[in-house]
Amino acid sequence: KNEVEQSPQNLTAQEGEFITINCSYSVGISALHWLQQHPGGGIVSLFMLSSGKKKHGRLIATINIQEKHSSLHITASHPRDSAVYICAVPPFGNEKLTFGTGTRLTIIP
Amino acid sequence: ETGVTQTPRHLVMGMTNKKSLKCEQHLGHNAMYWYKQSAKKPLELMFVYSLEERVENNSVPSRFSPECPNSSHLFLHLHTLQPEDSALYLCASSPRTSGGRNIQYFGAGTRLSVL
Protein backbone atom coordinates (compact mmCIF):
# COMPACT_ATOMS: atom_id res chain seq x y z
CA LYS A 1 0.00 0.00 0.00
CA ASN A 2 1.39 3.40 -0.96
CA GLU A 3 1.61 5.82 1.91
CA VAL A 4 2.41 9.50 1.61
CA GLU A 5 3.64 11.31 4.69
CA GLN A 6 4.08 15.05 4.95
CA SER A 7 5.86 17.06 7.60
CA PRO A 8 5.27 19.25 9.36
CA GLN A 9 1.47 19.11 9.58
CA ASN A 10 1.32 22.77 10.57
CA LEU A 11 3.89 25.51 10.12
CA THR A 12 3.74 29.13 11.21
CA ALA A 13 6.52 31.50 10.17
CA GLN A 14 7.29 35.17 9.91
CA GLU A 15 7.15 36.97 6.60
CA GLY A 16 10.46 36.66 4.79
CA GLU A 17 11.47 33.32 6.29
CA PHE A 18 12.68 30.39 4.19
CA ILE A 19 10.12 27.57 4.30
CA THR A 20 10.65 23.84 3.80
CA ILE A 21 7.88 21.26 3.57
CA ASN A 22 8.74 17.59 3.28
CA CYS A 23 7.05 14.62 1.62
CA SER A 24 7.99 10.94 1.89
CA TYR A 25 6.35 8.05 0.07
CA SER A 26 6.68 4.32 0.26
CA VAL A 27 6.50 2.86 -3.27
CA GLY A 28 8.12 3.45 -6.66
CA ILE A 29 6.56 6.29 -8.58
CA SER A 30 6.65 7.86 -12.03
CA ALA A 31 6.22 11.45 -10.86
CA LEU A 32 5.37 13.54 -7.82
CA HIS A 33 2.95 16.45 -7.63
CA TRP A 34 2.92 19.44 -5.32
CA LEU A 35 -0.44 21.20 -4.98
CA GLN A 36 -1.58 24.34 -3.17
CA GLN A 37 -5.03 24.61 -1.59
CA HIS A 38 -6.24 28.04 -0.53
CA PRO A 39 -8.77 28.59 2.29
CA GLY A 40 -11.66 28.73 -0.17
CA GLY A 41 -10.94 25.14 -1.17
CA GLY A 42 -9.68 25.45 -4.71
CA ILE A 43 -6.50 23.53 -5.57
CA VAL A 44 -3.75 24.67 -7.90
CA SER A 45 -1.02 22.44 -9.27
CA LEU A 46 2.41 23.89 -8.46
CA PHE A 47 4.82 21.27 -9.76
CA MET A 48 5.02 17.86 -11.31
CA LEU A 49 8.52 16.40 -11.17
CA SER A 50 10.18 13.04 -11.63
CA SER A 51 13.82 13.94 -10.92
CA GLY A 52 16.08 16.73 -9.74
CA LYS A 53 14.72 20.17 -9.10
CA LYS A 54 12.17 22.60 -10.51
CA LYS A 55 11.83 26.31 -9.78
CA HIS A 56 8.93 28.67 -10.34
CA GLY A 57 9.32 32.15 -8.92
CA ARG A 58 9.96 31.83 -5.17
CA LEU A 59 9.00 28.16 -5.11
CA ILE A 60 11.49 25.34 -5.52
CA ALA A 61 10.67 21.62 -5.55
CA THR A 62 13.24 18.87 -5.26
CA ILE A 63 12.96 15.11 -5.40
CA ASN A 64 15.27 12.24 -4.48
CA ILE A 65 13.88 9.13 -6.13
CA GLN A 66 16.27 6.74 -4.36
CA GLU A 67 15.32 8.07 -0.94
CA LYS A 68 11.62 8.41 -1.88
CA HIS A 69 11.56 11.98 -0.61
CA SER A 70 10.63 15.40 -1.94
CA SER A 71 10.82 18.89 -0.52
CA LEU A 72 9.00 22.10 -1.35
CA HIS A 73 10.84 25.30 -0.49
CA ILE A 74 9.50 28.84 -0.43
CA THR A 75 12.00 31.69 -0.38
CA ALA A 76 11.15 35.14 1.00
CA SER A 77 7.77 33.91 2.26
CA HIS A 78 4.79 36.23 2.13
CA PRO A 79 1.37 36.16 3.83
CA ARG A 80 -0.23 35.31 0.48
CA ASP A 81 1.71 32.00 0.59
CA SER A 82 -0.55 30.95 3.49
CA ALA A 83 -2.30 27.82 2.28
CA VAL A 84 -2.30 24.05 2.59
CA TYR A 85 0.43 22.39 0.54
CA ILE A 86 -0.30 18.86 -0.61
CA CYS A 87 2.01 16.22 -2.01
CA ALA A 88 0.58 13.52 -4.30
CA VAL A 89 2.10 10.52 -6.06
CA PRO A 90 0.93 7.94 -8.59
CA PRO A 91 2.47 4.51 -7.96
CA PHE A 92 3.98 2.82 -11.01
CA GLY A 93 1.30 1.32 -13.23
CA ASN A 94 -1.50 3.08 -11.38
CA GLU A 95 -3.71 5.85 -12.68
CA LYS A 96 -4.64 7.06 -9.22
CA LEU A 97 -2.93 9.76 -7.21
CA THR A 98 -2.33 9.06 -3.52
CA PHE A 99 -2.44 12.29 -1.53
CA GLY A 100 -0.74 13.36 1.66
CA THR A 101 -2.80 15.01 4.37
CA GLY A 102 -1.19 18.36 3.62
CA THR A 103 0.88 20.93 5.46
CA ARG A 104 -0.97 24.01 6.67
CA LEU A 105 1.34 27.02 6.26
CA THR A 106 0.62 30.37 7.90
CA ILE A 107 2.87 33.33 7.21
CA ILE A 108 2.57 36.17 9.70
CA PRO A 109 3.26 39.73 8.49
CA GLU B 1 -8.90 30.67 -12.45
CA THR B 2 -8.00 27.11 -13.45
CA GLY B 3 -10.54 26.69 -16.24
CA VAL B 4 -12.61 24.19 -14.25
CA THR B 5 -15.90 25.54 -12.89
CA GLN B 6 -17.97 23.85 -10.20
CA THR B 7 -21.50 24.71 -9.13
CA PRO B 8 -22.89 25.22 -6.62
CA ARG B 9 -20.06 26.35 -4.33
CA HIS B 10 -22.09 25.49 -1.22
CA LEU B 11 -24.94 23.04 -0.74
CA VAL B 12 -26.97 22.08 2.30
CA MET B 13 -29.29 19.13 1.92
CA GLY B 14 -31.37 16.80 4.01
CA MET B 15 -30.86 13.06 3.97
CA THR B 16 -33.95 12.51 1.82
CA ASN B 17 -33.12 15.15 -0.79
CA LYS B 18 -31.82 14.61 -4.30
CA LYS B 19 -29.33 17.11 -5.65
CA SER B 20 -26.63 17.29 -8.31
CA LEU B 21 -23.17 18.80 -8.44
CA LYS B 22 -21.94 20.16 -11.75
CA CYS B 23 -18.46 20.49 -13.18
CA GLU B 24 -17.52 22.11 -16.47
CA GLN B 25 -14.19 22.47 -18.25
CA HIS B 26 -13.39 24.07 -21.59
CA LEU B 27 -9.71 23.16 -21.61
CA GLY B 28 -10.11 20.47 -24.22
CA HIS B 29 -9.24 17.79 -21.67
CA ASN B 30 -10.30 14.18 -22.13
CA ALA B 31 -10.26 13.06 -18.51
CA MET B 32 -12.38 14.27 -15.60
CA TYR B 33 -12.33 13.29 -11.94
CA TRP B 34 -14.44 13.54 -8.79
CA TYR B 35 -12.63 13.73 -5.45
CA LYS B 36 -13.92 13.86 -1.88
CA GLN B 37 -12.06 15.79 0.81
CA SER B 38 -13.26 15.20 4.35
CA ALA B 39 -11.99 17.20 7.30
CA LYS B 40 -8.42 16.28 8.29
CA LYS B 41 -8.27 13.51 5.65
CA PRO B 42 -6.38 13.31 2.34
CA LEU B 43 -8.23 13.74 -0.92
CA GLU B 44 -9.94 10.54 -1.97
CA LEU B 45 -10.55 9.70 -5.61
CA MET B 46 -14.16 8.78 -6.31
CA PHE B 47 -14.55 8.46 -10.06
CA VAL B 48 -12.52 8.91 -13.24
CA TYR B 49 -13.99 9.46 -16.69
CA SER B 50 -11.95 9.21 -19.86
CA LEU B 51 -13.62 10.32 -23.09
CA GLU B 52 -17.02 10.11 -21.36
CA GLU B 53 -16.44 6.52 -20.26
CA ARG B 54 -16.09 5.69 -16.57
CA VAL B 55 -12.71 4.07 -16.08
CA GLU B 56 -12.47 4.15 -12.30
CA ASN B 57 -14.99 3.70 -9.53
CA ASN B 58 -13.17 3.72 -6.25
CA SER B 59 -15.68 1.67 -4.24
CA VAL B 60 -18.04 4.59 -3.88
CA PRO B 61 -21.51 3.95 -2.39
CA SER B 62 -24.37 3.89 -4.88
CA ARG B 63 -25.94 6.97 -3.31
CA PHE B 64 -23.32 8.84 -5.40
CA SER B 65 -24.05 8.53 -9.11
CA PRO B 66 -21.75 10.19 -11.67
CA GLU B 67 -22.72 11.21 -15.17
CA CYS B 68 -20.52 12.44 -18.00
CA PRO B 69 -22.71 13.48 -20.95
CA ASN B 70 -19.77 14.89 -22.91
CA SER B 71 -16.09 15.55 -22.39
CA SER B 72 -16.71 19.06 -21.04
CA HIS B 73 -19.30 18.28 -18.38
CA LEU B 74 -19.37 16.04 -15.34
CA PHE B 75 -22.16 15.64 -12.82
CA LEU B 76 -22.40 13.97 -9.45
CA HIS B 77 -25.96 13.05 -8.55
CA LEU B 78 -26.64 12.72 -4.85
CA HIS B 79 -29.54 10.92 -3.14
CA THR B 80 -30.28 9.70 0.38
CA LEU B 81 -26.93 10.90 1.65
CA GLN B 82 -25.68 10.44 5.20
CA PRO B 83 -24.23 13.11 7.52
CA GLU B 84 -20.77 11.53 7.09
CA ASP B 85 -20.96 12.45 3.41
CA SER B 86 -20.53 16.10 4.38
CA ALA B 87 -17.26 17.15 2.75
CA LEU B 88 -15.67 19.24 0.03
CA TYR B 89 -16.24 17.66 -3.38
CA LEU B 90 -13.66 18.60 -5.96
CA CYS B 91 -13.74 18.12 -9.69
CA ALA B 92 -10.58 18.00 -11.79
CA SER B 93 -9.62 17.50 -15.40
CA SER B 94 -6.46 16.52 -17.24
CA PRO B 95 -5.48 16.06 -20.87
CA ARG B 96 -5.39 12.25 -20.46
CA THR B 97 -5.51 9.76 -17.63
CA SER B 98 -2.11 8.17 -18.24
CA GLY B 99 -0.52 7.13 -14.96
CA GLY B 100 -0.61 10.31 -12.90
CA ARG B 101 1.93 12.01 -15.15
CA ASN B 102 -0.62 14.58 -16.21
CA ILE B 103 -1.18 17.78 -14.28
CA GLN B 104 -4.74 17.92 -13.03
CA TYR B 105 -6.67 21.17 -13.04
CA PHE B 106 -9.03 21.48 -10.10
CA GLY B 107 -12.24 23.37 -9.61
CA ALA B 108 -12.93 25.42 -6.48
CA GLY B 109 -15.06 22.65 -5.02
CA THR B 110 -18.58 22.28 -3.66
CA ARG B 111 -18.83 22.29 0.12
CA LEU B 112 -21.64 19.90 0.98
CA SER B 113 -23.40 19.70 4.32
CA VAL B 114 -25.85 16.86 4.92
CA LEU B 115 -28.26 17.45 7.78
According to DSSP, the residues that pair with B66 across neighbouring strands are B76
Tell me the pLDDT tens digit for each residue of B49-105.
Answer: 988 777 777 789 999 999 999 989 999 999 999 999 999 999 999 987 765 678 899
Q: Do B101 and A48 touch (CB under 8 A)?
A: yes
Q: Do A86 and B43 touch (CB under 8 A)?
A: yes
Tell me the pLDDT tens digit for each residue of A28-84.
Answer: 888 899 999 998 888 999 999 989 999 999 999 999 999 999 999 999 999 999 999
- Please tell me the distance in Å from B26's CA to the nearest CA on chain A: 17
At B63, the amino acid letter reads: R
CA atoms within 13 A on the CB side of A17: 16
Exposure string for A19-29, b = 16+ CB within 10 A, e = fewer: bebebbbeeeb
| Residues of chain A neighbouring B56 (CB-CB closer than 8 A) | 95-96
Of B43, B99, B105, Cβ closest to residue A45: B105
What pLDDT is recorded for position A29?
Answer: 82
